[in-house]
Structure formats: C-alpha cells, structure tokens
Amino acid sequence: MVKIDHQGETPPYEQVRVHYAHAISNRELPVGAKLPTVRALAKDLGLAVNTVARAYRELEEAGLVETRGRAGTVVSANGDSNRERVRAAAAQYASMSAELGLSSQEAMEIVRAALRS
C-alpha cells in the first residue's frame, strides 16, 4: 500500500509514481499485475483523481505500465526491456569511463550529477 507524506516536500503524485516504479523494478508487481483504478487509489489515499492520474500517466510514459481502457492499468512487459536498455547503457558508460582514465568515483559523480538534473 502506498503511504503519502502530506507534510513532505515531495508532491503526492511523485510519491505514488515512485512507489509503483520501485515495486515494478523490484518485481514486487509482476508483468500483467493490475494496478488499482485511479478513482479507487485516489479515494484510498485521500488524493484528487487528477493527482493519481498524473502518476499513472508518467508511469505509462516511462513504459512501466499500460492502460487498457476499461480493463484497467497493468504492469507492462516493456519495463523489462527498458531495464535492459539502461543496463546496456551503464555497461557502455563504464567501459568508456575506463578507456578515458576516469576513476570509478569520478564516473559515479558524473552519473549522480546527471540524475539530479
């Protein structure tokens, strides 16, 4: 169950998005698993429907879920291929960093800076 920190700095839609993105990435939610309806989740969390809809839309844009009309929103198989693409890019980055003589620490600092921006 998603827990929303209404006093925190992170917007509620982002808390919902992050919760489901982590659950999908960690395979707690397998491919094909159905997410709660937008209305039901909004009611359970005490959020506006548009807030949950935005989180679901961003998950869909990231390829982690797909909306099937009246059948609801389910975990997409694309999440696995997206994860593989990121792993391949990371391996390529690590190889390039080594070729250019960057230390592991320096390479990680560059990645952290990129993730922050």
Kindly state whether residues 85 and 30 are assigned to the same domain.
no
Q: Of the ranges 21-25, 40-44, 85-89, which one carries the lowest mean pLDDT score? A: 85-89
Q: Average of pLDDT values for 10-24?
A: 95
SS3 content of the chain, % helix, strand, coil (to 5): 60, 5, 30
What range does the domain containing 111 cover? 80-115
Instruction: HSE, CB side, 13 Å, CA atoms: give it for residue 30.
Output: 0
H or E segment and range at residue 45? helix 38-45
Mean pLDDT within 45-61 = 96
pTM, to two decimals: 0.69
Please count the structural domains in the chain: 2
pLDDT of residue 117: 82
Same domain, 24 and 60: yes
Average pLDDT of the segment spanning 9-18:
96
In a domain, 50, yes or no: yes
The two three-digit tokens of residue 99, written as one number: 């070729």
- Collapsing DSSP states into helix, strand and coil, what is residue 34? strand
Q: Which pLDDT score, from 0 to 100, does residue 84 have?
A: 73
CA 100 to chain centre: 31
CATH code of residue 66: 1.10.10.10
pLDDT tens per residue across span 55-112: 999 999 988 999 988 889 999 987 667 777 888 899 999 999 999 999 999 999 999 9
DSSP summary character for residue 33? P
Q: Are residues 105 and 69 in the same domain?
A: no
6: in domain: no
Q: Is 59 part of any domain? A: yes
* H or E segment and range at residue 65: strand 65-67
